[in-house]
Amino acid sequence: MNRERVAGKPRLMVPQTAGFVYCPGCHEPLVARAIAEALEDLGMGDNAVGVFDIGCSSFLLGIMDIDSVIGPHGRPPDIATAVKRIYPSNIVFTVQGDGGLLSIGADPLMGVLARAEKITIVMINNAVYGTTGGQMAPTSLAGQETSTTPGGRDASKHGFPVHAAEMIATFKSTAYSVRCAVNNPYNYEQTRECLRTAFTKQMDGVGFSFVEVLSACPSNWHMSPAASLRWIEESLMPEFPLGEFKNVDKME
Ligand SMILES: Cc1ncc(C[n+]2csc(CCOP(=O)(O)OP(=O)(O)O)c2C)c(N)n1
Ligand code: SF4
Ligand SMILES: [Mg+2]
């Protein structure tokens, strides 16, 4: 009987060789896979440079077979700017956590938006600082218990969650801004498509593109992988709705 191949490992994903192993149920490797597939779909795997941040996304370096560089925490947008200006025909993208992009690296993010850099930023929104033990991030929900807000995030002391995809959509330099998730096969396929669109905006020279992905961190949410999937749907998505916030073919 002939069997139809319905899924396989993308060529750009490599067996994990580094000492680090992602926690069970972590969605970051799925984001890496979606990026790998989007680059393969576009035939750009050999002409792409990933700039990874300090944080759990830094381990994409060990599982993706693309040219890559790692930056000091929060600085990937600056490095991506330089790489893109030196190699303008390459797809240049960063992968950063919500802490790395919105707090520690808020200044480099503002720089690329102000200068209208034609790069792509992929932000992993797991509502915590994952690598360092689950401290509050700018994206932590109201009432969310984290290691630095053991009584829950209290707006009067800790402020409100930051909506990156909506905020970035307000900049004239932004060609594309979207929020996705990889919590089920449908949303995974949507993420792959959004990444293709984001990279295409860059290849066409339209402007800056941004893809935020809701991502499970079971270890720091203190939940099982299955409970994390439910928490994404019941708690994260109401605060961070999925969808496109900007999609234009010309900066104006
Ligand atoms: C300037 C600087 N501040 C703090 C740290 C410590 N640090 C390393 S990773 C990290 C948290 C990363 O969180 P996030 O960016 O959300 O990524 P995640 O691990 O959740 O994917 C912190 C605070 C650092 N390396 N450099
Ligand atoms: S700490 Fe969280 S983000 Fe980091 S690998 Fe584990 S589950 Fe993933
Ligand atoms: Mg994080």
Q: What's the chain's average pLDDT?
A: 95
CA distances to 85, 102, 160, 166, 223 from 243, rounded to whole Å, are 30, 20, 21, 10, 26
The token pair at 140 is 């932590």
Please write the tens of the pLDDT for every residue from 189-237.
999 999 999 999 999 999 999 999 999 999 999 999 999 999 999 999 9
Calpha distance 105→249 (Å, rounded): 28
CA distances to 39, 42, 178 from 193, rounded to whole Å, are 11, 11, 11
Calpha distance 16→85 (Å, rounded): 31
pLDDT score, position 5 = 77
pTM for the model: 0.96
Quick one: DSSP state of residue 222?
Answer: T
Contact residues of ligand 1, CB 6 A cut-off:
54-57, 73, 97-100, 104, 124, 126, 128-132, 137
pLDDT band at residue 88 under the 50/70/90 scheme: very high
Calpha distance 223→211 (Å, rounded): 26
Minimum-distance ligand 1 atom for the alpha carbon of 72: 26
Alpha-helical runs (H) found in the chain: 28-41, 60-63, 76-86, 98-99, 106-115, 155-158, 164-169, 185-203, 218-221, 225-231, 237-239
Please write the tens of the pLDDT for every residue from 119-177.
999 999 999 999 999 999 999 999 999 999 999 999 999 999 999 999 999 999 999 99
Between CA 108 and CA 113, with CA 111 as vertex, the angle to 5 degrees is 115
Domain extent listing, the chain? 28-148+160-247
Per this entry, what is the length of the chain? 252
Question: Nearest C-alpha to atom 5 of ligand 1 is from which residue?
Answer: 73
Residue 17, pLDDT above cutoff 80: no
CATH architecture of residue range(s) 28-148+160-247: 3-Layer(aba) Sandwich (3.40)
Minimum-distance ligand 1 atom for the alpha carbon of 126: 20
Please write the tens of the pLDDT for every residue from 181-196.
999 999 999 999 999 9
> What string of DSSP letters covers 102-131?
IIITHHHHHHHHHHT---EEEEEE-SEETT
Task: Kindly give the distance from the C-alpha atom of residue 75 to the centroid of ligand 3, in angstroms, as a whole number.
Answer: 15
Complete edge-to-edge strand list for the sheet that includes strand 67-70: 67-70, 48-52, 91-97, 120-125, 208-214, 174-181, 243-247
Evaluate: CB of 28 within 6 angstroms of ligand 2.
Answer: yes
Contact indicator for 225, 116 with CB cutoff of 8 Å: no
**218 three-state secondary structure:** helix
Residue 102, pLDDT above cutoff 80: yes
Evaluate: CB of 125 within 6 angstroms of ligand 2.
Answer: no
Quick one: DSSP state of residue 237?
Answer: H
Q: What is the mean pLDDT of residues 237-242?
A: 98
| Nearest C-alpha neighbor of 54 from the set 31, 37, 78, 71 | 71
Share of the chain above pLDDT 70, in %: 98
pLDDT score, position 19 = 66
Question: Beta 128-129 vs 135-136: how paired, if at all?
Answer: antiparallel
